[in-house]
Structure 1
């Protein structure tokens, strides 16, 4: 059963509120899907980045690519390593630097959660026409890569 609608919230039309509310609704279901495999949505983002890497990345470079600060990324990598989904090895050129790598178990979990996330997104956008979903994605990508606004903070 849905929670009662608060009249003051129904009329919100600011872009920040709309984007936040849509992300909140989608994010809670995506988190539930990831949680079924013992990881967080952020963990899934890290695993996906590591699974798709053609070249190795240091922790610092990975954090920058994902928009995660050092503390947040380190905590997430610690969780993933304890779950044996990643390993961190010293960089052969600089032993002070750690290079995270996804394990086979990590690849399996990442693939399963990715399937669930695709299902979640499909259900979330089911009321939209496929062309509208495509347009929504394209517009959001344009906003993300635009030069306006700061690019600081976590991606999730």
Structure 2
């Protein structure tokens, strides 16, 4: 690749967003690995902390995973006793997902790890810049929907 092509790539908004996302994901994975948890499982724990009792289908959409992948993630988490699934009384084909006490404790243990990564990644940003980045990324996502 010529230096001119590399410069074009570096200036590509899509490339920059993808690259930052991948770097953040890799660093999160590295930090979570020592706790025996995957990034996907961490996302599930966070979703359930905010919306406990969410149906499995909605959870799959929230973490941006296909239903079969979400089922596999939840199966693993259930084996670790981090979550429990109960049939949805409104729809016998669906399941509601809840944190167990062990899952809640695990989440509390991991919050400082997540906060540290976040704080390190936004070091040098003002509150205004952080707000602007979030707003712009939300617009970017909305344009892709």
Normalising by the smaller structure, the TM-score range is 0.7 to 0.9
| Residue 128 of structure 2: aligned partner | 131
**TM-score (normalised: structure 1):** 0.79
Unmatched 5+ residue regions in structure 1? Answer: 1-5, 151-156
Identify, as 1 or 2, the structure richer in helix.
Answer: 2
Moved over 6 A (4+): none
Deviation at 1:28, TM superposition (A): 1.2
Count residues in correspondence. Answer: 142
Unmatched 5+ residue regions in structure 2? Answer: none
1:88, 1:98 within 8 Å by CA — same for their partners in 2? yes
| Residue 98 of structure 2: aligned partner | 101
**TM-score (normalised: structure 2):** 0.84
After TM superposition, list the pairs within 5 Å mapping 1:1-156 onto structure 2.
9=6, 12-53=10-51, 56-144=53-141, 146=142, 148-150=143-145
Pick 1 or 2: higher relative contact order, CA cutoff 8 A, min separation 6: 1
> Please, what is the CA RMSD of the aligned residues?
2.1
